[in-house]
Structure 1
Amino acid sequence: MRLLSALLAAALLAGCAAVPKLPPERSRLRDFALEARFALRVTPPDRAPRSSGGLLSWEHDGRGDRLLLSSPLGIGLAEIDMAPGLARLRTADGRRIESADPESLTEEVTGQRLPVGRLSDWLLGRTTAGGTLERDAAGRPARLNEAGWQIDYAYADAAPDAPPSALTLNRAGEIELKLRIESWRELP
């Protein structure tokens, strides 16, 4: 369950310390790093919900993504590297799993094909032509719906250029991931 929880948290990414401002034009932001806490709840059909949580360190740049998942006490559980044509998971016990893309990797590990490739865009409130985005009074992303997922955004600051301090990702009540972003920075 820990590996499943860690991978789902990476795949999907309340209350927060001060978070640096994002550039006013989110559409131009490409590369970032963040530190977050996550809480994950999975409710399989006809079974009791299972919950877990921990820490997430995420770097996203033009070459790909690197995610480090740790227990609430900071003990490393798994590292996930994603680049075009390759997704690799390494667990603390030395296990390695590779796939051609992050969605195939999540399907192999969890049995579900999860939209890992969309997470960085969802974090910034970017959607595809098939999705919808609602904005708050300050013009920031408030709710995004795409491919059966609903992403709700919360902000610790009222400024129009404030980055989200918390996200809740939900798929039909069967998977809920809450992220509390503790630090956020734009990468050069």
Structure 2
Amino acid sequence: MRQRARLWLILPIITLLGACTTIQVEPLPDGMTDQPPAGWAGRSETLSTFQHWRLIGKLAVKQPSDSGSAIINHWIQDGEAYDLALSSAFLGMGRTSLKGVPGFMELTLPNGDTYRSNEPEALVEAATGWQLPINHLTWWIRGLPAPGDDFRLLFDQSEQLAMIRQAGWEIRYDRWQQFLSGYPALPARITALKGDKRVRLVVSEWNGEASD
């Protein structure tokens, strides 16, 4: 009974505090706007349908606990299913494989040990020490916010997407390139920041087919 009475006393205070709390929106960086350009809706729709690809590039992670880089031998995306093959001295000389779908991952280390988890990001961190927003990267790599989380888009003076703020990360689009005919320019280099963590991804080649 005492716990119930205490709860009834606390609830009005929580309600009052909630009513007085406002969301703090950070000011826009110089030269940027959060107003999408005229062609943004069509561009987003086109990129949303771009769900089958193969790319190669490099990945670099910098964080207080550990830092390192890896070659992306391939990132094959087939709808929601992904297959990443990474090579890195940091991960152990050899090839590390990450295969999965949203909510599930199978990770194979260079020595052949395989681990499976319903929490992909936790699995990657446990195996490599890296904190990678793997569930969001499939969207961010195309220049799109991931569904399911609030986001804010920022555009530069050339009406190009410059930044996505989502899930506590700030994704900066450092360079765009026209990789594929029939599609808008795709990110060639992105930098994702969260506190003192940084993930940089450089794409050297995009292909529109998810085949080996």
**TM-score normalized with structure 2 length:** 0.64
State the identity %: 26
Q: 1:58 and 2:75 equivalent?
A: yes
Question: Which aligned pairs between 1:1-188 and structure 2 lie closer than 5 A?
Answer: 25-44=46-65, 50-56=66-72, 57-71=74-88, 76-83=94-101, 86-106=104-124, 108-109=126-127, 114-127=132-145, 128=147, 130-157=150-177, 161-173=184-196, 175-187=197-209
**Equivalent residue letter for 1:166:** R
CA deviation digits over 1:87-126, x for unaligned, max 9?
A: 1111111111111242342354367875311111111122
Distance change >3 Å, CA 118–CA 37, structure 1 → 2: same
**In structure 2, distance between residues paired with 1:62 and 1:33:** 12
**Equivalent residue letter for 1:164:** P
**In structure 2, distance between residues paired with 1:86 and 1:40:** 22
User: Cα distance, 1:134 vs. partner?
Assistant: 1.3
Total equivalences in the alignment = 158
User: Cα distance, 1:145 vs. partner?
Assistant: 0.7
Gaps in structure 2 of 5+ consecutive residues: 1-41
Structure 1: which 4+ aligned runs deviate by more than 4 Å? 110-114, 156-160
Q: Given that residues 82 and 101 in structure 1 are in contact (C-alpha distance below 8 angstroms), is that contact kept between their aligned partners in structure 2?
A: no
**In structure 2, distance between residues paired with 1:158 and 1:87:** 31
Q: Which residue of 2 aligns with 1:5?
A: none
SS at match of 1:109: helix
CA deviation digits over 1:143-187, x for unaligned, max 9?
A: 0110111111122548992211101111112x2111111001122
**In structure 2, distance between residues paired with 1:42 and 1:171:** 10
User: Quick one: higher RCO (CA 8 Å, sep 6+), 1 or 2?
Assistant: 1
Gaps in structure 1 of 5+ consecutive residues: 1-22, 45-49
- Structure richer in helix, relative to its length: 2
**In structure 2, distance between residues paired with 1:156 and 1:111:** 29
**Equivalent residue letter for 2:202:** R
Q: Which has the larger Rg? A: 2
CA deviation digits over 1:48-79, x for unaligned, max 9?
A: xx33112012111125100001137xx53310
Q: Given that residues 175 and 190 in structure 2 are in contact (C-alpha distance below 8 angstroms), is that contact kept between their aligned partners in structure 1?
A: no
Task: Supply the RMSD in Å over aligned alpha carbons.
Answer: 2.9
